[in-house]
Amino acid sequence: MTQRIPIVENILSANDRLAEENRARIESAGVFSVNLMASPGAGKTSIIEQTLSRLADKLRVAVVDGDIATSLDADRAAAAGAQASIQINTGGECHLDAVMLQGALNQLDLSKFDLLIVENVGNLVCPADFRLGTHKSVLIASTPEGDDKPYKYPGMYRGVDALVVNKIDLLPYLDFKMDYFQRGVEALNPGVVTFPVSCRTGEGLDAWTNWLAQNVKR
């Protein structure tokens, strides 16, 4: 146990240095980048598909998908209109890290893109600890997960720049108290920009994609 803390600190420090290199590389190409995090089933890939359907004819979008196995998510992104779609299989790791993203960046000519969307591995613990070098970190929550998630996973909610609350079309059928959920979020991340959306009905998605497009212009 006496060695655990220094080892973890060294791993995170090395990752942060590589994340800074990734960030410099992305910025030098004039690309805006986001890291999408969520639990399994919250709707990351569906959000990406809906985002591409609204932005692919306006922006050049590359998608990097992280998952333990398969290329299913990358295939869905490509079918939805991503100009480039790269799959990272972590082989069991519960998160992406800066090394993995660096490998994906090596496969992209960033000068050909305006927006880079990174879909992290479905997990509400590990991804928050490993910076990738993206400009913004976005958490996708979903109503079927329950309204207690900010209280149970504070590290994830505390560190994000934006929050997407997905599947709001299910609210009439769930015991999800939005005010309770929002109080938990506000206590951890006051004023975080929040987008209630439904991939099924399209509600709220224009506000989300407009936010992305505005950040690309900046």
pLDDT at 139 over 50: yes
**Cβ neighbours, 10 Å, residue 73:** 21
Task: Name the pLDDT band for 3 (thresholds 50, 70, 90).
Answer: very low
Please give the share of the chain, as a percent, with pLDDT higher than 70: 95
pLDDT tens digits for range 143-185: 999 999 999 999 999 989 999 999 999 999 999 999 999 999 9
- The domains of the chain are located at 4-217
* 44-55 vs 72-80: helix crossing angle, rounded to 10: 20
pLDDT tens digits for range 70-109: 889 999 999 999 999 999 999 888 999 999 999 999 999 9
The model carries a pTM of 0.93
Q: What is the CATH number of domain 4-217?
A: 3.40.50.300
Task: Name the pLDDT band for 203 (thresholds 50, 70, 90).
Answer: very high
